[in-house]
Amino acid sequence: MMSIRFDLSYANINPSEFENRFEQLALANEELMAKTGIGNDFLGWVDYPINYDKAEYARIKKAAIKIQDTCDALVIIGIGGSYLGSKAVISALTSPFFNEEPRSKRKAPKIYFAGQNLSGKYLEKLLELLKDQDICVNVISKSGTTTEPAIAFRFFKKFMEEKYGKDGARDRIFVTTDKSAGALKFMADEEGYENFVIPDDIGGRYSVYTAVGLLPIAAAGIDIDALMAGGKAGYEEYKNPKVDKNPCYQYALYRNVLYNRGKSIEILVDYDPSLEYIGEWWKQLFGESDGKDGKGLFPSAVHFSTDLHSMGQMIQDGPKNHFETVLVIDEDQSSIKVFHDDANLEGLNYLNAWEIDAINEKAFMGTLLAHVDGGVPNGIIHLKKLDAFNIGKLIYFFEKACGLNGYLMGVNPFDQPGVEAYKKNMFALLHKPGYEALTTELEERL
């Protein structure tokens, strides 16, 4: 039985709507797997789970052990694809209260993130929190000049050199960057930091299986062998040309059919807080990949049952411009049960001996039927178990479906030209050299 399956029973899609796209899908898959399609200079992720750099992989494992042995806390500095993948996996596969647990239970350093925002308060309070702890830093940036992580690393580099001296800091700073060029690579070589490679042919949002994701994930005590095995299993399974046997194909077609029906928003739904950052990573993956040339589905994520008390009304009775993709874990995460209370003031005794995970499942089923009755198509991704293998496979499932979907939509799913627009304006307003003409124009507009 497939460990990830896609259920279309509630999607209100006629089989002919799939069949009419089979030829186009087969062509998209051929171009993707042969790396001949548009954006093929960023298709290194396609076979990376089987063709990864084994020597660097061994170094990642060794560095992760060193980090675990050396520090109380690991600070991961990066933004976008440089942090979302590792945060998604770590959040999914560790306790919701990971940093608060004793080291004897965690068996790994606490994990913090920096450089993913421009909040002075966030950075100041994090530095203050860590002043009496032994820390390591993993700074992740292809160029080393991306504003948010570059600012954060400037502060942490100074913090660590003052705390440990330059020699001590050198042993605690790990760099993930371009293999041969860029400001961060230059700094790593000058300072003698151990550094790992962001492959030239893999974009940030597709980089979870590289050192970008694997070093933080391994340092957090997660089995990266199992994660990579899941990626490899996805690579093999999602080559199956039979659509009825390939959930990745089904998901790509499902998105395309509903998009061409006029749906403009896809809502990824989860029923477990552990999956919240899977949703955040998924939003970047599909948002940066789809949104081109006035095309694309707007990716949104909600977390049920929490968001049923805030967004449920809009989804149920609002304009029908959206559909839901529900990510559910089939295996219970806990056996905790509701117990009998003699007073029964809240009237919960009818739930006596019910596992909370079983109640959550009924919440999912009840919501599914209500939203379908309200005219919202639903597709369901069933994840057999929440473990490193299945999360590794899910990552490949989404990555390949994203690539296929882009080709079906007629866009390059591997570039992000629109991201530069805000950066140019920001640099001009900060009076960065070289932007003087734009500075004048923008300040007049403001």
- Measured CA to CA, the distance from residue 145 to residue 151 in angstroms comes to 9
- Measured CA to CA, the distance from residue 234 to residue 251 in angstroms comes to 14
The one catalytic residue in 423, 424, 436, 443 is 423
Give every CB contact of residue 1 below 8 A, 6+ residues apart in sequence: 384
- Domain ranges (residues) in the chain: 4-34+228-409, 47-222
Confidence label for 429 from pLDDT (cuts 50, 70 and 90): confident
CATH 3.40.50.10490, applies to 4-34+228-409: yes
Give every CB contact of residue 335 below 8 A, 6+ residues apart in sequence: 355, 357
Number of other CB atoms surrounding residue 410 within 10 Å: 10
Instruction: Find the angle CA(172)-CA(178)-CA(184) to the nearest 5 degrees.
Output: 50
Exposed, middle or buried: residue 9 (CB in 10 Å: 0-12, 13-18, 19+)?
exposed
Q: Is the pLDDT reported for residue 60 higher than 80? A: yes
- Measured CA to CA, the distance from residue 307 to residue 436 in angstroms comes to 45
Q: Is the pLDDT reported for residue 35 higher than 90? A: yes
Please provide the distance, in angstroms rounded to a whole number, between the alpha carbons at the two ends of the chain.
Answer: 59
Give every CB contact of residue 361 below 8 A, 6+ residues apart in sequence: none
- Measured CA to CA, the distance from residue 401 to residue 384 in angstroms comes to 19
The one catalytic residue in 148, 237, 266, 288 is 288
Q: Token digits for 117?
A: 């925002």
Q: Token digits for 387?
A: 């473990």
Q: Token digits for 217?
A: 């994930």
Kindly report, residue by residue over 349-385, the tens digit of the pLDDT. Answer: 999 999 999 999 999 999 999 999 999 999 999 999 9
Packing angle, helices 22-34 and 388-409, rounded to 10: 110
pLDDT of residue 379: 98
Largest CA distance in the chain: 75
Equal fold, 4-34+228-409 vs 47-222: yes
pLDDT of residue 1: 56
Q: Is the pLDDT reported for residue 46 higher than 70? A: yes
DSSP state for residue 337 in the 8-state scheme: B
Beta bridge partners of 380: 7, 326
**Segment 253-261 mean pLDDT:** 97
Q: Which has more confidence, 233 or 333?
A: 233
Beta bridge partners of 301: 268
Please confirm, yes or no, whether 19 is among the known catalytic residues: no
pTM comes to: 0.96
Q: Is the pLDDT reported for residue 437 higher than 90? A: no
Please confirm, yes or no, whether 288 is among the known catalytic residues: yes
pLDDT of residue 426: 87
Strand order from edge to edge, sheet including 194-197: 110-114, 73-77, 135-140, 173-177, 194-197
Query: What's the mean pLDDT when you consider all of the chain?
Result: 95
CATH (residue range 47-222): 3.40.50.10490
- Measured CA to CA, the distance from residue 231 to residue 399 in angstroms comes to 10
Confidence label for 85 from pLDDT (cuts 50, 70 and 90): very high
